[in-house]
A and B are shown apart, each in its own frame.
Chain A
Amino acid sequence: MSAKLKAAAKQATGLTHEGRAYSTDILNSMHDQMLLIRRFEEKAGQLYGLKKIGGFCHLCNGQEAVPVGVSNAMQDSDYMLTGYRDHGHILARGADPTAIMAELLGRSGGIVKGKGGSMHMFDIDRNFAGGNGIVAEQVPVGLGFGFASWYREDGRVTLCFMGDGAINQGAVYEAFNMAALWKLPVVFVVENNQYAMGTALDRASAETHLFKRGISFKIPGIQIDGMDVLEVERQMSEAIAHARTGKGPFLVEAITYRYRGHSMSDPATYRSREEVEEWRAGRDPIARLQAMMVKAKLATEDEFKQRDRDIKKKVAEISKAAEAMSLPDASELYADVYHDPIASAYPYPDGSN
């Protein structure tokens, strides 16, 4: 738990979960982060339906507890990388939601100036290093951030996310090996939402207990309930402490579930409506935290309803502000290909290409 969290926990009443105390402020903050992600993703889905967002768009409804729980266990200077289902992660790191929505809309005020879109979100000020569209691309790259921390001895930890599909890529095991060999401060987080696109876990993986995938590399692994934000925060705090104290990498498998299809074009016919309903009704991470807080008399159902209305209103304002932004200027086309522009990257002076 970060110093900030500890200080807050002391000064305010809250609740104790599995022996760990959470202040009301922290609980409210995690709740609001998850709800913001949920309503943000719903809005993104609507805007996609209206053809205002293009290309690929992978929503994380249902999975909010993982990025929010992990993020709350991190320090600000720690690095985070993930794959293409990245809206929730960058929001959890505290990036500007309007800039993220503007990115989805391909606007000049987008978080990467309209050049990345849904799959390529970055925020260097929050040490969020993507946003990667090739499955498992971020795993060796994340290893490199961990290497940089080892090289500089800066005490930072890298949180490197992947899905249950990515874990079958060879690159992951190359990274596992070097991370363990050199005891690099990296925590690998597998978001096991049980379907790699449309392929169920047991149709793609010989070993479905993904937390065991580090055993050959002597990487300790645990499986956690990724639908419980407090469990995620608690277990991740321990995993991060392990990495930060020079003990090497750690592997966490968070069991979670996405309510929507793999992407916007996926009707998800590979699973039953009952299955989706079972997860939604029985294990929803936002409803679970709300129930816990109501039971502990930290909030009422009416208060949560009011906060939901407030967040929906905020998301509507975000979306409106983002839609009002201009498209990127044409001069952006050739900017940022190289640090200093090179001649051959440009059209010929007569305008031909």
Chain B
Amino acid sequence: MSKITFREALNQAMCEEIERDSNVFLMGEEVAEYNGAYKVSQGMLDKFGPKRVIDTPITELGFAGLGVGAAMAGLRPIIEFMTWNFAILAMDQIVNAAAKMLYMSGGQYHVPMVFRGAGGAAARVGAQHSQSLENWVANVPGLKVVMPSTPYDAKGLLKSSIRDNDPVIFIENEICYGDIGEVPDTEYTIPLGKAEIKRTGSDITIVAHSRMVSFALSAAEALAQLGIEAEVVDPRTIKPLDEATILASVAKTNRAITVEEGWRFSGIGAEISARIMEKGFDDLDAPVIRVTGKEVPMPYAENLELMTLPNVSEIVEAARVVCSRA
């Protein structure tokens, strides 16, 4: 095992897959000569040259569509959005082209590609650079959505995403790029659609993804001090969603909350709590509560920004409320 950062884990995954398959290439803004806006692609241009690691103009709709066409022609593009905020410009190609091409063509044209980049809020970058859009894309049939929370998961899941035969939306978190974690020195992959229990517990299930997993784990430690043992489930893949692992956990704890950075309305927590209600209703001793980002455009002031994001004490409080109900 080696201790590496989240960004190094992503870098290793891309390098290994580019070495493994001549059809894989990385394209995006500042990925080559600049070594990545967040240094995720550090050193890749030197290693693989300008045909495999390609700087684009600032033209998200255009290069997203280029990726779709290249994938239809048999390549395996990794399209990097500097952040997912800019992917909104490319949404037509993601939703109307990438997601639907296989179906519309009656199974003729596959679109094996990855759209990846930083999602969620960074720090103090304001409304247009701080948002979680995973619920937008998870709503669309044809897309898969992956959101890792650790370097280990990031590497294993990105490798699987690149090898996947469908378009995969891979959302990272800028704040997590420097997180350090253990990663095996030998090759491994993690299948899409498999959740992981990040902490076992018997009293309540906390379902959280991406950066919110670390918040949930901190909350679980605080809850333990109060005599509440929380089980933290990280779906890792939003779509396909591993509902079996979530439902099994709820069957054990009989209580659940969801935690996400994004807005509440039709968020990921809405989907997860609906599924628990539909399929695990008899296991529940209390209604599911959703902890989410506040429904405002992200403000700039430090105190207001902190108020907007979910925090550990909100998670603790939500868990206490759920556990106090008979």
Contact = CB atoms under 8 A, between A and B. Distances in A.
Contact of A181 (B57, B64, B109, B165): B57
Interface in B138-174: 141-142, 144, 164-166
A134 B70 contact: no
Interface string B85-114: 000000011001100011111111110100
A230 to B, nearest CB: 31
A110 B106 CA distance: 9
Contacts of A330: none
Contacts of B75: 147-148, 151
B281 to A, nearest CB: 13
A129 B72 contact: yes
Contacts, number: 158
Interface in B39-76: 51, 56-57, 59, 61-75
Contacts of A170: 61
Interface residues of A, number: 51
A338 B240 CA distance: 11
A112 B106 contact: yes
Contacts of B142: 337-338
Interface residues of B, number: 49
B141 A137 contact: no
Given A134-B92, A141-B69, A112 B108 contact: yes
B240 A344 contact: yes
A178 B63 contact: yes
A171 B104 contact: no
A171 B109 contact: no
A120 interface: yes
Contacts of A79: 73
Interface string A135-153: 0010111111111110100
A137 B97 contact: yes
Nearest to A81: B69
B314 interface: no
B278 interface: yes
B109 A129 contact: yes
Contacts of B108: 112, 122-124
Interface string A93-132: 0000000000000000011111110001011100001111
Contacts of B107: 113, 335-336
B61 A174 contact: yes
A116 B104 CA distance: 5
B193 interface: yes
Interface of B: 25, 51, 56-57, 59, 61-75, 77, 92-93, 96-97, 101-110, 112, 141-142, 144, 164-166, 193, 239-241, 243, 278-279
11 contacts: A130-B101, A140-B64, A141-B69, A143-B62, A145-B70, A145-B72, A174-B61, A177-B57, A338-B102, A339-B112, A344-B239
Interface of A: 79, 81, 110-116, 120, 122-124, 129-134, 137, 139-149, 151, 170-171, 174-175, 177-178, 181, 335-340, 342-345, 348, 352
